[in-house]
Amino acid sequence: MQGASVDRYTLARAGGLEISILTYGGIVQSIRLPDGTNVVLGFPELDGYLAAGDAYLGAIVGRCANRIARGELPLDGNVYGLSRNEGEHHLHGGVAGFDKKVWRARPRIGEREIAVVLAHTSEDDDEGYPGRVDVEAVYSLTLDDVVRIELRAVTTKPTVVNLTTHSLFNLAGEGRGTIFAHELTLAADRYTPVDAQLIPTGELAPVAGTPMDFRRPTEIGSRLGGDYDHNFVLNERVAARLTDRSSGRSLEIRTTEPGLQLYTGGKLDGAYERFAGVALEPQRFPDSPHHAHFPSAVLRPGERYESTTELRFPSGLSDQ
């Protein structure tokens, strides 16, 4: 990105939400609610993101989000060697994934929404992945204060694509303590257990009777010391509800994706304390190339990857 200019686009509605997006990494820099509170972690200047390294704050991650074991991508009888950036494993697109690219951008104004359209081209063999992939990310703000994130991609060769966004939310306000007291509800009765290196075992295990059971509103800090980095198998499009009862703010996430990664910021250090925000990342399951029974992330020429996620911020306390 040396020599490239980075722009900020702000989508705002009078008396409503305001969302700012950077062309560096497609980063959601802030989401301000009508009362002026910013509810995502981020930095006021680009230098903060560059210094944060692999925190992925607010960024689009890909070409393949989450982990691929041993950096090995089996596809159509071949095994492609991907970059290894988490020990022996591949994480969030590798050493210089989509979160570290400067995206092309253009504004778009419709009758019921305003948007910024970001585009990026990932060349053949980028971080070891086969095929040139053209990616488009559309951030929209609607007249009824819905933030919509649409991710699309096409490829020149068979490859894998699994995109998500990595905003960390704190509904009390950015930088205002931990998210332990936030109540979380997930529409998931199964999850994908992992080994000590956070690689899925391949099992689809029931959440019942485990610390993974968020089918009813549950304080994040009440189990496992609040330290989560796990994928959940979604049952319905309304995937998650997050509530901070001290402020009365809530967030609802709807998505077309089959899974959602719950990450509570246990690896944060530096500008933010650990557990200062919670990421709720819609996705295909981690390490899916090694598990044929997981939803596939394979994309072939002539096909189109499409993913849509909506963020809604109901006023007042949720009656979940």
Which of 1, 22, 51, 320 shows the shortest CA–CA distance to 165? 22
Tell me whether residue 166 is one of the annotated catalytic residues.
Answer: yes
Q: Which of 89, 90, 166, 230 is catalytic?
A: 166
CA dihedral 8, 14, 17, 21 (to 10 degrees): -10
Tell me whether residue 252 is one of the annotated catalytic residues.
Answer: no
Helix (H) or strand (E) holding 52: helix 46-52
Token readout for 242 is 């997050």
Instruction: Note the maximum CA span of the chain.
Output: 55
- CA torsion through residues 50, 54, 55, 61, sign: positive
Confirm if 150 and 307 have CB atoms less than 8 A apart. yes
Q: Which amino acid is at 127?
A: E
Burial class of residue 89 in the structure, from the number of CB atoms within 10 Å of its CB (0-12 exposed, 13-18 middle, 19+ buried): buried
What is the rounded distance in angstroms from the CA atom of residue 123 to the CA atom of residue 132?
A: 4
In three-state secondary structure terms, 147 is strand
Q: How far apart are the first and last CA of the chain?
A: 44
Tell me the residue length of the chain.
Answer: 320
In three-state secondary structure terms, 8 is strand
Q: Which of 174, 252, 257, 281 is catalytic?
A: 281
Active site (catalytic) residues: 166, 281
